[in-house]
Amino acid sequence: MLPYKSLIQVDRKAPVALYIQVCNRFIALITDGTLRPSDLLPSSRILAELIGINRHTVRLAYDELISQGWAESVERKGIFVLSRLPDLSRTKLPETNKNDGPKEAFVWTNKFEKAIPSENFQKTGLAIDDGLPDVRLAPVDLLMREYRSISRKFYGRNFLKYGSARGSEHLRVSICNYLSNTRGLVVSPENILITKGSQMGIYLAAQLLLNPTDTIAVGVSNYGSADDTFRHAGANLLRIPIDNNGMDVDHLEAILQHKKIKAVYIIPHHHCPTTVTMNVERRLKLLSLAKEYRFAIVEDDYDFDFHYDNKPYLPLASIDHNQNVIYIGSITKTFAPALRIGFMVGPSVFVEAASSLRQLIDRQGDTLLEEAFAALFDNGEMERHFRKSLTIYKQRRNQFCQVLKTDFKDTIEFKMPEGGLAVWSIFDKNIDLIKMSKDASKKGLYIGNGSFSQNESFFTNALRMGFASLNENEMVKALGILKQVVH
C-alpha cells in the first residue's frame, strides 16, 4: 500500500471542505502517475485512520471521485481508479544537455530573450526614476469617489457589462474637449480609441501599419520600448539623427528620394530620451514629406501637459490637414503609472481597425475607471491637478538642476529641460553607469544604468534622471547618495 498518511494531508483551517481536499489529493496522485488505472484505493476505514478524519468524510471524497470520473466502485471489491483512464505513468524529468540546457516540453520561439525587464517601482524605496509623476499628488481619492459613486447609481451597473472596445464614449467626448482646449486638436469621439497607456497605442499602430520587412524611421536615440515593438512587427528600423532641434528632417528627405518608408515614429515634444523639442520648421516639413511620400507619422506625445518655460508647441496632429498623423497620448504619465489610461487619435477607419485588433488581446478597458476619469475631466479636477503638478514639478526641476550644477559640475553634463519630468544627464566617460547603479543600490537608492536608452547606434554614457517623483528631502538624500558613488 502507498504511504497515504504522508501523501494525503488535510488542512482543517482551510476554507475548502475536507472531503474536497481528499478528492483533490487523489486526483493529483492519479495525474502524476502515482496511482494507475485499476489500482485499488484503501477502504474508507483504513484511510480514515491513516489521515485522521472520519469515515463519512472519506466516503464523500470517494463519491466525488466517482462522480467526476476518476474512480469506479466494484461491488464487494472496493473503489478503484477508473480502468478506462489513460496510463499516466510517471515520466522521467527532461534530460539536461550541458550545451543546450534542459529540453522543453513543447516547441516555442522566445522572441524576448534580450528584452530588459521593466523595473518594479512598487518594490523600490528611494529612486531616481526615468521621469515618472509623483503619485502622491494625484487626486486618487477623488477618482475613487467618482468610481464608487458611479458604481452605486442605477445606470452604473450597466458599465459592468461588455462595452465598446473603443472605450467609454463619455471619456472619449471628454478627451475631445481636453484636446481641443489644450492642443487645438479638433476631433470627434469616432477618432479616438481609449488604450491602456501609450504603449498599447504604439503596439496597435505598429501592427496595423507595418508588415515584415517594411521600414519605419525612428531617432538614432529613441524610446526603447517603441523600437522593440516595431521589431516585433517585423519592421526594419531606419535611424535618423536627433539634434537640439529634434529629428533631422533634411536627412530623412534625402533618404526618401531613394528608399520607401512606411512610417515615421517621432516624439517631437520632449524627445525620449534626450528631452529635446522639435522646432516648427521641421514639424511643417515633416508633414509636407508625409503628404508627398504617403507615409504615416506616429506621434507619441506622452507628457504634453508638463512644459515650464513657455507655451508648448502644438502637436503635429493639430496642424495636420492631410490626416497622416496617428496621435498617441497618455493620462497615465501625468496622473499615476498604474492607472492605465491612454488614447490614440487617428482617421476613424484606422481607429475602428485598431479597436478590432485591441479586442484580440484585451476585450476592453475598465469602463468604470474610464467613466470616473471622464467625471474628473468634466468637473475640472484634472485641469486643477495639471496646474498644481506643473507648479510643483517646475520647482523640483529647478532644485534638481541646481544641485546637478553645483555638486556634479565635473561629472554630469546636462541642459535644463523646458518640459517633461526628467533631465537627460551625460556622465563623464570614466564613470561606469552599471557599477554606479549597483553601488547606489547598496546604499538604498535605485537609479538606472543607462542601458534602456542605448541601442545598436546610440551608446552615449547617459541616462534620464527623473526629478518629478522626489520631494525636496528625498531629492537631497538621493542626490547625496549619488554624489557618494560617483566621486
In the chain the domains, ranked by start, together with CATH numbers, are 4-81 (1.10.10.10), 126-133+384-486 (3.90.1150.10), 140-381 (3.40.640.10)
Mean predicted confidence (pLDDT) in 76-93: 82
Instruction: Please give the backbone phi and psi of residue 97, each rounded to the nearest 5 degrees, phi first.
Output: -95, 130
How far, in Å, CA of 46 to CA of 58, rounded?
Answer: 10
How far, in Å, CA of 200 to CA of 341, rounded?
Answer: 10
156: confidence class by pLDDT, cuts 50, 70, 90: confident
Beta partners for residue 238, in sequence order? 217
- Give me 317's grid cell: 496632429
Mean predicted confidence (pLDDT) in 215-219: 98
Beta partners for residue 194, in sequence order? 343
Mean predicted confidence (pLDDT) in 158-177: 90
Per-residue pLDDT at 334 = 83
Is the per-residue pLDDT at 91 higher than 60?
no
Tell me the one-letter amino acid at 428: D
Beta partners for residue 299, in sequence order? 266, 327
Q: Which residue has the cell 496622473?
A: 335
Q: Which residue has the cell 534530460?
A: 95
How far, in Å, CA of 89 to CA of 73, rounded?
Answer: 22
How far, in Å, CA of 328 to CA of 316, rounded?
Answer: 11
The more confidently predicted of residues 90 and 152 is 152
Instruction: Mark 181-214 as b/e (b = at least 16 C-beta within 10 Å).
Output: ebbebebebebbbbbbbbbbbbbbbbbbbbeeeb
Q: Which of 172, 170, 124 is nearest to 469 (CA)?
A: 124
Per-residue pLDDT at 152 = 84
Mean predicted confidence (pLDDT) in 110-119: 76
Is the per-residue pLDDT at 94 higher than 60?
no
Chain centre distance of CA 247? 26
90: confidence class by pLDDT, cuts 50, 70, 90: low
Three-state secondary-structure class, residue 225? helix
| 134-146 pLDDT, tens digit each | 999 999 999 999 9
Q: At what angle do helices 280-293 and 249-256 cross, to 10 degrees?
A: 20
Per-residue pLDDT at 199 = 93
Task: Return mean pLDDT, the chain.
Answer: 92
Contact 181, 308 (CB under 8 A): no
Mean predicted confidence (pLDDT) in 346-371: 93
How far, in Å, CA of 262 to CA of 235, rounded?
Answer: 9
164 CB neighbour count, 10 Å cutoff: 15
CB contact set of 478 (below 8 Å; sequence gap of 6+): 126, 127, 128, 445, 447, 470
96: confidence class by pLDDT, cuts 50, 70, 90: low
How far, in Å, CA of 55 to CA of 238, rounded?
Answer: 73
Per-residue pLDDT at 103 = 72
Mean predicted confidence (pLDDT) in 345-373: 93
Per-residue pLDDT at 14 = 92
Contact 419, 303 (CB under 8 A): yes
| 454-471 pLDDT, tens digit each | 999 999 999 999 999 999
How far, in Å, CA of 311 to CA of 177, rounded?
Answer: 19
Is the per-residue pLDDT at 104 higher than 90?
no
Per-residue pLDDT at 485 = 94
Per-residue pLDDT at 102 = 65
| 39-55 pLDDT, tens digit each | 999 999 999 999 999 99
Is the per-residue pLDDT at 193 higher than 80?
yes
Tell me the one-letter amino acid at 145: R
DSSP 405-459: HHHSTTTEE----SBSSEEEEEEPTTS-HHHHHHHHHHTTEEE--SGGG-BTTB-
Per-residue pLDDT at 338 = 85
Is the per-residue pLDDT at 182 higher than 80?
yes
How far, in Å, CA of 302 to CA of 375, rounded?
Answer: 22
| 414-444 pLDDT, tens digit each | 999 999 999 999 999 999 999 999 999 999 9
Preceding amide of 273 cis, omega within 30? yes
DSSP 45-99: HHHHHHHT--HHHHHHHHHHHHHHTSEEEETTTEEEE-TTS---PPPPPPPEETT
Contact 198, 302 (CB under 8 A): yes
Per-residue pLDDT at 101 = 61
| 254-294 pLDDT, tens digit each | 999 999 999 999 999 999 999 999 999 999 999 999 999 99
How far, in Å, CA of 93 to CA of 104, rounded?
Answer: 10
Is the per-residue pLDDT at 98 higher than 60?
no
Per-residue pLDDT at 99 = 59
Three-state secondary-structure class, residue 10? coil
Mean predicted confidence (pLDDT) in 235-254: 97
Three-state secondary-structure class, residue 355? helix
Three-state secondary-structure class, residue 155? coil
Contact 418, 309 (CB under 8 A): yes
Per-residue pLDDT at 151 = 85
Mean predicted confidence (pLDDT) in 314-321: 94
346 CB neighbour count, 10 Å cutoff: 27
CB contact set of 219 (below 8 Å; sequence gap of 6+): 239, 240, 241, 242, 247, 266, 267, 271
Contact 136, 474 (CB under 8 A): no
Mean predicted confidence (pLDDT) in 342-366: 94
Tell me the whole-structure pTM to 2 decimals.
0.84
Per-residue pLDDT at 92 = 54
| 60-83 pLDDT, tens digit each | 999 999 999 999 999 989 999 999
Rg (CA), the chain: 29
